[in-house]
Amino acid sequence: MQHFRQNIERLIKYAFWRTAQNNITSIKHDIQKLNMLIPPLKVKRCLKV
């Protein structure tokens, strides 16, 4: 029974890790889209504030 629980915990951790990785990549893509839309100077000014 304990072995079964360990497998489930491992699956949950893996699922959380996968979603975190996916979120990071999607955030990077969003930032790249914003950089294309907004001139670099405006982006730098927003980041400084």
Q: What pLDDT score does 34 carry?
A: 79
DSSP readout, 1-49?
-HHHHHHHHHHHHHHHHHHHHHHHHHHHHHHHHHHHHS-HHHHHHHHH-
pLDDT at 10: 93
More confident residue, 30 or 48: 30
- Residue 3 confidence class, pLDDT cut points 50, 70, 90: confident
Rounded to an integer, what distance in angstroms lies between the CA atom of residue 20 and that of residue 26? 10
Q: How confident is the model at residue 33 (pLDDT cuts 50, 70, 90)?
A: confident
Residue with the larger pLDDT of the pair 43 and 13: 13
**Whole-model pTM over 0.75:** no
